[in-house]
């Protein structure tokens, strides 16, 4: 089931996509859902029944703008070298444990909104298509099986990266955290019909494919990764786990290809959709 967060210009709201329209979830008893609701199978069943019967208000897609499913995550936990093909392009050994780093919540931006290049003359800005895991229920010390029960749904994240800052600092946080460097969306997909460990992922820049892989290439699948993170820190509703990127990123291409103002990125994940953002100068 595809949930979307959207605005009509006056307020933000949740809806569910059905037959090229959005059905407003504010019509349900209790009003707007939270992430725990979206992750709850019984809630999704009620939504499906009402949407099928016409019991939810239709919203014209042309009259709304899509928003990031989680506008301000409590934390964004990212995993490096989590695709075998990405490790291979760097001549790195497959890691034995997840390599984790953080990304500032203020980096999140909406589908269709610009990625702001902070310094076109000096900063090398890169693209990274990633599957985002949105937490719906709090959890600590979760088993791999329990991890999935705490997931609200899945979305697309473009882990935009400032490579110059990464190289200068010798760590990732600043280069990953410029404002607008975490586009997220266009939908939050929930339910058993979506297998996060077997979907195609692709990044296009100005229509040209730069990254193409499948999450079968994961070194650590979603259950393993969420479980591992939960052993170190409590995961709370609205936290986002960004699961890593496949091979083909710009900094490891020959010649190097980095983003410039005017270019458009399209991060697509099978079953979720395409997250489109254009790069602009600051």
Contact 273, 187 (CB under 8 A): yes
Domain extent listing, the chain: 2-67, 76-281
**pTM value?**
0.96
d(CA 175, CA 167): 9
Tell me what pLDDT residue 90 has: 76
The pairing of strands 76-80 and 240-242 is parallel
Helix intervals (H) in the chain: 35-38, 41-53, 84-89, 144-149, 163-169, 173-176, 222-230
CA 93 to chain centre: 26
Burial class (CB in 10 A: 0-12, 13-18, 19+), 54: exposed
Please, what are the averages of pLDDT over each run of 10 residues along the chain (282 residues)?
95 92 91 95 94 89 95 97 83 90 98 97 97 98 98 98 96 97 98 96 98 96 98 98 96 95 98 98 88
Q: What is the CA radius of gyration of the chain?
A: 18
The contacts of residue 77 (CB under 8 Å, 6+ apart) are 100, 102, 229, 233, 239, 240, 241, 242
| Nearest-10 Cα torsion for 88, 94, 100, 104 | 10
Task: Domain 76-281: give its CATH code.
Answer: 3.90.850.10
Rounded-to-integer distance, Cα 56 and Cα 95, Å = 47
**What pLDDT is attached to residue 68?**
98
């Amino acid at each position: 089931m595809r949930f979307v967060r959207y605005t009509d210009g006056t307020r933000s709201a949740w809806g569910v996509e059905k037959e090229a329209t959005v059905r407003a979830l504010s019509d349900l008893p209790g009003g707007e859902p939270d992430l725990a609701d979206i992750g709850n199978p019984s809630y999704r069943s009620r939504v499906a029944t009402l949407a099928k019967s016409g019991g939810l208000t239709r919203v014209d897609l042309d009259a709304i703008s899509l928003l990031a499913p989680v506008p301000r995550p409590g934390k964004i936990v990212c995993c490096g070298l989590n695709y075998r093909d990405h490790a291979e392009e760097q001549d790195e050994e497959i890691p034995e444990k997840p390599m984790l780093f953080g990304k500032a919540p203020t980096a999140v931006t909406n589908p269709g909104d610009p990625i702001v290049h902070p310094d076109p003359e000096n900063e090398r800005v890169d693209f990274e298509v990633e599957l985002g895991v949105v937490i719906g229920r709090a959890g600590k010390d979760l088993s791999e099986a329990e991890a999935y029960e705490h997931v609200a749904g899945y979305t697309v994240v473009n882990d935009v990266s400032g490579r110059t800052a990464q190289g200068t600092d010798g760590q990732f946080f600043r280069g990953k955290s410029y404002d607008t460097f975490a586009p997220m969306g266009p939908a939050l997909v929930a339910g058993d019909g979506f297998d996060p460990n077997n979907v195609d992922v692709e990044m296009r820049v100005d229509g040209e494919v730069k990254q193409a892989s499948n999450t079968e290439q994961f070194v650590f699948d979603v259950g393993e990764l969420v479980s591992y993170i939960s052993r170190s820190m409590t995961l709370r509703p609205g936290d986002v786990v960004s699961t890593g990127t496949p091979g083909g990123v710009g900094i490891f291409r020959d010649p190097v290809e980095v983003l410039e103002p005017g270019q458009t990125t399209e991060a697509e994940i099978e079953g979720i959709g395409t997250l489109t953002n254009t790069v602009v100068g600051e």
